[in-house]
Structure 1
Amino acid sequence: MFDLDKIVAAHQPNYLPWIGYFHKILKSDVFIILDHVQFSRRGFINRNRVKGPKGAVWLTVPVRVHGTMRIMDVHIDNTKKWNKKHADTLKAFYAKAPYFEEVYPILREVYELRWESLAEFNIEIIMRIVNMLDINRKFIRSSTLELQGKKMDMIIELCKKVGATVYFSGKGAMRYQDPKVFEKNGIKLVYQEFEHPVYPQRFGDFVPNLSILDMLFNVGIKNTREILKNL
């Protein structure tokens, strides 16, 4: 994609991420899991959507959050029976999907364990999906890099620490990133070009931007891998 450049991408450890998340991983050499940044209550760090008979439904991991907290410090609220509910919802929605038996057992194992850390739980699921899709990349947690900056300064700092020559960014960061600043620091800024694929999906009209699990259950691991590679 970028000749011999070392491509780095970064993102928070989201819960059951969408297809574009794994597209970003696939297009990078090194993927930084931003676990030291601030937890957002309205983002996708502890929730995502799957599709049922009545359309898209949120699955939300309950958390114990007070004030401003780093993602790595957020704990799951296990007073609620969320893990069984999520596993049962996936089974109810996708048991009749063509590739349910191929995918579900790998996820069920994770839900059967007790998790305290939201980041650890999310990362475990992300890595299981990465392994399913046979994506061989280097993963680094930002909390191990001792980063000091914020937003664009943080990204440039992490790029330097891992020896990146290209930063592969989501378009949502365009509002605060300056390509000239990256260039001055010897880093090429490239934005992700992503067109959401349409694939066979149960329950009526196609709904985009769901968890990648929807795609895995409906088209299978092999086909999901091929679709991602061709995006």
Structure 2
Amino acid sequence: MSKKMTLGIMQPYFFPYLGYFDLINRTDRWIVFDVVRYAPKSWMNRNRILHPIEGWQYVSLPVDRHAGAGLIRDVPLLDPQAAHDKIQGQIQHYRSAGAPFFHAVSALISATFADAASGLLRDMNVASLAATCAYLDLPFHPENLSDLDLELPEIDHAGQWALEISNALGAQRYLNPPGGKDIFRPQDWERHGIELAFTSMVSFSYATGRHQFVEHLSILDVLMWNPPGRVKAYLDSRKQVEA
């Protein structure tokens, strides 16, 4: 029996949490969902790392204050160099706390900013995903939905987007994160002969030096404390168990 082509579709997030990469690792084709309105103060322009003293703090990408009225594909960044410098300053406590992979992660951040020359939020976020996947040795070949020129029918509910894109691209299986199950209508997927599946929440704990461990922070936090081989092995183990 031939393997089902599994499709993943997500808005592009900025150095998202480990579960995002779990989804990437389980899919055969990845679509960057960039054709809907940008949501301000979302995971698209910020994520969380450890705070120097207690808890967590945001690292963020400032965007044009009028961007909330535009589509994800069009949102411009404000002064990416200043954002890069600020984030590099925000991670310095990892070095003083003895995070073993501080220099690798710092270089990963710099490489991401260097690769996103367009000045668009979407491209910065995709660059953060690509750089992280390369570091973890995860296959990743993103395609922007806005570049595919798919002829989709009128969309009348949020869950229909994934169904119609999956149908247009000939996917036999669509995989979604565990949240948002309520937006889907399983009977519609059954009618189209496409399997609708969901991942489970990741649970990956690790030592964080003098800091208290906080779950589900940005992948930046995970990579500060763990060798890439351990992270990839964890993701591959989930892929095998929940295939």
Q: TM-score, normalised by structure 1?
A: 0.90
Change (3 A) 1:140 1:115: closer
- Say which is worse superposed, 103-112 or 188-197, in terms of deviation: 103-112
Cα distance in structure 1, aligned partners of 2:220 and 2:80: 26
5 Å-filtered alignment, 1:149-168, equals 149=155, 151-168=158-175
Gaps spanning 5+ residues in structure 2: where? 239-243
Structure 1, gaps ≥5 residues long = none
Q: 1: CA distance between counterparts of 2:205 and 2:2?
A: 30
Superposition pairs of residues 68-217 of structure 1, within 5 angstroms: 68-78=69-79, 81-94=82-95, 96-111=98-113, 116-147=119-150, 148=152, 149=155, 151-217=158-224
Q: By how many angstroms is 1:161 displaced?
A: 2.3
Compared CA separation, residues 168 and 79, structure 1 to 2 (3 A): closer
Percent identity at matched positions? 24
Partners of 1:87 and 1:16 in 2: CA distance: 14
Change (3 A) 1:72 1:223: same
User: Within 2, Cα distance between the matches of 1:221 and 1:180?
Assistant: 40
CA distance in 2, matches of 1:108, 1:32: 25
Offset of 1:112 from its aligned partner? 5.5
Q: CA RMSD in A?
A: 2.2
Cα distance, 1:80–1:220 mapped onto 2, change above 3 Å: closer
Distance (whole Å) between structure 1 residues aligned to residue 80 and residue 140 of structure 2: 36
- 1:10-21 aligned at under 5 Å gives the runs 10-21=9-20
**Residues 80, 119 of structure 2: 8 Å contact kept:** no
SS at match of 1:31: strand
Write the distance in 2 (CA, Å) between the matches of 1:195 and 1:176: 21
Kindly indicate whether the alpha-carbon contact (under 8 Å) linking 2:35 and 2:71 is maintained by their aligned counterparts in 1: yes
